Amino acid sequence: MSRSPFARSLAFALGAAGALLVGAPLLAPAFGERAAVRLLLVAAVVVWAALLAPTRSRSARAAASAAAFSALLLALPLGVGATALAAAALLGVCRSAILFRARPARAALLESLLLGGGLALAAFLAGPWLARLALAAWGFWLVQSAFFAVGGIGPRPEFRNDDPFERARAQVLALLD
């Protein structure tokens, strides 16, 4: 039985916070505390793209794109706050440009509201301790779950072609995916 994307997103919020809470102390000896937190923040975007994509092909494309840009982010000497902001922007671009279709104005408005609201809640919940950072990550991802509660969101069409054979082929491939 497949759960709805909204339920999977809620579960992901809890998992991302738990991964930050458990993973940061485990990775800190190897990478340093700040680098471990930064790595886990951008890794969450990659995992979100892979787990919550509407199809496997989009999942691979979105996760690969997110991983490439995440590697660039990690190469830059940014703080945790700047990394969180950049990771949120990466999530918005990945979600609206690769995974789901919407009109550009609607996508920009929806992403601005969700990412801005999520970052505002995360900033409110964040604190100097790791538990507070995990709480902030949980709050951010909870707000992002609202993306699936908004109506009119569906997978982005692969192509636009009026050939009946190509439409039928695309429908069969969608069923197989």
Whole-number pLDDT of residue 98 = 85
Residue 118: closest CA among 89, 134, 96, 141: 141
Contacts for 84 with CB less than 8 Å, ≥ 6 apart: 41, 119, 122, 140
pTM: 0.80
pLDDT digits 0-9 by tens, 41-53: 999 999 999 998 8
pLDDT digits 0-9 by tens, 50-75: 998 888 888 888 999 999 999 999 99
Give residue limits of the domains in the chain.
5-176
The owner of tokens 């997978």 is 155
